[in-house]
Amino acid sequence: MFTKLYKRIRLLKNIGKEPYSSLYKILGFCPENIHLYEQAFLHKSSSVESGDGRWLNNERLEFLGDAVLDAIVADIVYKHFQNKREGFLTNTRSKIVQRETLNRIAVELGLDKMVVYSAKLSSHNNHMYGNALEALIGAIYLDQGYKVCYHFIQDVMIKKYIDIDTIARKEVNFKSSLIEWSQKNKLEISFDLIESFTDNDGNPVFQTGVTLSDTQIGVGIGYSKKESQQSAAKMAIKKLRTDKTFQQFISELKKKKTGENTAEHEFEELPEEAMENNGQEEISAETASAKTASAEETKAETAQEAVPAEN
């Protein structure tokens, strides 16, 4: 009782002050430890030195918020889709917590007006607002606990700004994600048509390769150039996300070309491979290979038929 009364008095005392006023409109409650929230909006480009010599910014809170967000979204998705399998649940969670989605929600919440960053840093094509949202979640968790954090993610972030059923059906644009990732890391990437042919039914088939700095990292086939590019990008992203040896190679290549180090979470920001699509299993790599082999056999047979018989 006394705790509630104290919080009520505190709210009335600070509600007209900034940043309490702006945070109350976003969160629906008045923060206890305002310093946590101020740090959540402090980008590393504007780090400040504390009294004990530590540099303060929102990266540690972002790390915490990312883990809390993953756990809570997993619980929400698990309860919402009671008959779906693990692959679908993983893919849906990934779409909700991906940087593009978080960045959009952060801007709609108005966090772009609260983040403090260096004037030299451009916010264009940058996920600093989505990162700040994760840091804010970390601040809420430390300040108010898990239940309040759950309420914020479920009732503010998801119910107001995300349609779970719609986002679950949304297909990931692997090509765009791969291009955005390569631009962010200053690495050259290209999609090249390897060949085109027809399958047994006479349908055109395209085979595309993805090359990253002169190294082929993915090959895909499809019944259109766009489909083959998406398939190739998906294979490339899977390799970048899961192949530790290749990750080391890319990190060294980036260091050599740009002089910059690769962040620990850089590869994790790439979208996870979609396991299901609108409730249907996607074509597996084995099936794709079989189609290619079948098409190759058709090409070979056609070539043999075209050779004139010897007299």
Predicted pLDDT at 274: 42
Predicted pLDDT at 305: 37
Lowest-confidence region among 10-19, 27-36, 94-103, 106-115: 10-19
Known binding residue 268? Answer is no
What band does 21 get if pLDDT is binned at 50, 70 and 90?
A: confident
Of 133, 165, 127, give the one whose Cα is nearest residue 69. 133
Q: 248-300: per-residue pLDDT in tens?
A: 988 988 888 888 887 766 777 677 654 333 333 333 344 444 444 444 444 44
What band does 61 get if pLDDT is binned at 50, 70 and 90?
A: very high
Instruction: Look up 192 and say whether it is catalytic.
Output: no
Map out the domains of the chain with their CATH numbers.
Answer: 13-169 (1.10.1520.10), 174-303 (3.30.160.20)
Give me the catalytic one of 38, 134, 143, 276.
134
Predicted pLDDT at 6: 56
Predicted pLDDT at 283: 38
Mean pLDDT of the 218-223 span: 92
Predicted pLDDT at 281: 33
Burial class for 78, CB neighbours closer than 10 Å (0-12, 13-18, 19+): middle
Residue whose tokens read 């809390």: 68
Lowest-confidence region among 2-11, 158-167, 192-201, 226-235: 2-11
Determine contact, residues 24/30, Cβ cutoff 8 Å: yes
Mean pLDDT of the 74-94 span: 90
Predicted pLDDT at 120: 62
More confident residue, 5 or 27: 27
Give me the catalytic one of 32, 59, 66, 227.
66
Instruction: Look up 195 and say whether it is catalytic.
Output: no
Of 279, 267, 260, 261, give the one whose Cα is nearest residue 237. 267
Known binding residue 91? Answer is no
Percent of the chain with pLDDT over 70: 77
Predicted pLDDT at 162: 95
Predicted pLDDT at 2: 54
Of 107, 104, 123, give the one whose Cα is nearest residue 43. 123
Known binding residue 261? Answer is no
Q: 41-55: per-residue pLDDT in tens?
A: 999 888 887 777 788
- The 3-state secondary structure of the chain reads CHHHHHHHHHHHHHCCCCCHHHHHHHHCCCCCCHHHHHHHCECHHHCEECCCCCEECCHHHHHHHHHHHHHHHHHHHHHHCCCCCHHHHHHHHHHHHCHHHHHHHHHHHCHHHCCECCCCCCCCCCCHHHHHHHHHHHHHHHHHCHHHHHHHHHHHHHHHHCCHHHHHHCCCCHHHHHHHHHHHCCCCEEEEEEEEEECCCCCEEEEEEEEECCEEEEEEEECCHHHHHHHHHHHHHHHHHHCHHHHHHHHHHHHHHHCCCCCCCCCCCCCCCCCEECCEECCCHHHHHHHHHHHHHHHHHHHHHHCCCCC
More confident residue, 291 or 132: 132
- pLDDT at residue 168 greater than cutoff 80: yes
Angle between helix axes 59-80 and 86-97 (nearest 10 degrees) is 140
The mean of the pLDDT values for the chain is: 81
What band does 104 get if pLDDT is binned at 50, 70 and 90?
A: very high
Predicted pLDDT at 9: 53
Select the highest-mean-pLDDT range: 83-92, 94-103, 142-151.
142-151
